């Protein structure tokens, strides 16, 4: 499967159906936001360009072939530009070159920003829960509001978050939806749905 599978209207419709089904079991208000990327990771592209420039300079400097020293800086500059362009235009290469910790931090920062932007904190009991998906980084990150019990955040939500991330990394929509559905019983155990609960947040993929 590919990233497009998460973004197609049919996939978004299936995700909304899962959200409605799980919210029938809990007072938590779940919002799923899917983004192509959390960051462009421009630093990775620049680092690759710099490495290419250093390699070109080293080859010209130590090669038995004689190069014009006047043009060597220009050759290195061209290698930098081409290397940066290649890394920027080949997502798979840029993803492999970007450290896991960098990708994780960018996903978390973007998820927390989306939590505010999407107004998830506006539920009356602060029971909003954002499931943020960054396809390029291959990760999912959960942002619970203050009304979600701490025991739920450190236990079941952490485990489900790992399952969601694993499915996103595999581009496995079915696996992602299966993991998402687990939020229903997990949240319902500590945050059961009340008779007067209203659907305060949109179920459509943001």
Q: Is the pLDDT of residue 2 over 80?
A: no
203 within a domain of the structure (yes/no): no
| Residue 137 pLDDT > 90 | yes
Q: Is the pLDDT score of 67 beyond 80?
A: no
Domain-embedded: residue 202: no
Same domain flag for 117 and 84: no
Q: Which of 15-29, 57-71, 114-128 has the lowest mean pLDDT?
A: 57-71
Instruction: Write down the pLDDT at residue 198.
Output: 86
Residues 86, 119: one domain?
Answer: no
Could you give the CA distance from residue 94 to residue 136 in angstroms, rounded to a whole number? 10
CATH of the domain at 165: 3.10.310.50
Residue 153 has pLDDT above 90, yes or no: no
The residue among 76 and 117 whose pLDDT is bigger is: 117
Classify residue 200: in a domain, yes or no: no
Domain containing residue 145: 4-39+99-190
pLDDT for 5 equals 81
Q: Which residues contact 118 (CB under 8 A, 6 or more apart)?
A: 31, 33, 130, 206
Give the number of domains in the chain. Answer: 2
Residues 59 and 93 in one domain: yes
Q: Residue 56's pLDDT is what?
A: 86
User: Of the candidates 97, 127, 144, which is a domain's last residue?
Assistant: 97
Q: Is residue 69 part of a domain?
A: yes
Q: How confident is the model at residue 21 (pLDDT cuts 50, 70, 90)?
A: very high
User: Mean pLDDT throughout 112-118?
Assistant: 96
Q: Are residues 50 and 108 in the same domain?
A: no
Q: Is the pLDDT of residue 76 over 90?
A: no
For 6-35, what is the mean pLDDT?
95
- In this prediction, residue 1 has a pLDDT band, given cuts at 50, 70 and 90, of low
Last residue of a domain, one of 97, 117, 144: 97
Given phi > 0 = left and psi -120 to 50 = alpha, else beta, which region is 141?
Answer: beta
- 112 pLDDT exceeds 80? yes
The CA dihedral of 106, 108, 113, 118, to the nearest 10 degrees, is 120
> For 160-201, how does the pLDDT look when each residue is reduced to its tens digit (9 = 90+)?
999 999 999 999 999 999 999 999 999 999 999 988 888 889
Q: What is the mean pLDDT of the chain?
A: 92
């Amino acid at each position: 499967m590919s990233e497009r599978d998460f973004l197609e209207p049919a996939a978004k419709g299936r995700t909304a159906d899962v959200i409605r089904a799980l919210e029938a079991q809990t007072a938590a208000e779940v919002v799923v936001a899917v983004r192509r990327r959390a960051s462009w990771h421009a630093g990775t592209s620049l680092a690759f360009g710099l490495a290419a420039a250093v390699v070109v300079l080293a080859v010209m400097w130590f090669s038995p072939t004689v190069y014009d020293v006047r043009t060597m800086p220009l050759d290195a500059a061209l290698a930098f530009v081409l290397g940066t362009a290649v890394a920027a235009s080949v997502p798979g290469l840029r993803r492999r070159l970007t450290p896991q910790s960098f990708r994780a931090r960018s996903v978390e920062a973007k998820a927390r920003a989306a939590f505010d932007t999407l107004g998830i904190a506006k539920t009356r009991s602060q029971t909003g829960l954002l499931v943020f998906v960054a396809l390029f980084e291959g990760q999912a990150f959960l942002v619970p509001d203050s009304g979600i019990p701490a025991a739920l955040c450190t236990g079941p939500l952490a485990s489900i978050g790992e399952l969601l991330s694993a499915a996103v990394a595999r581009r496995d929509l079915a696996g992602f939806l299966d993991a998402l559905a687990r939020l229903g019983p997990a949240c319902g155990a500590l945050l059961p749905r009340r008779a007067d609960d209203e659907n305060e947040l949109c179920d459509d993929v943001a």
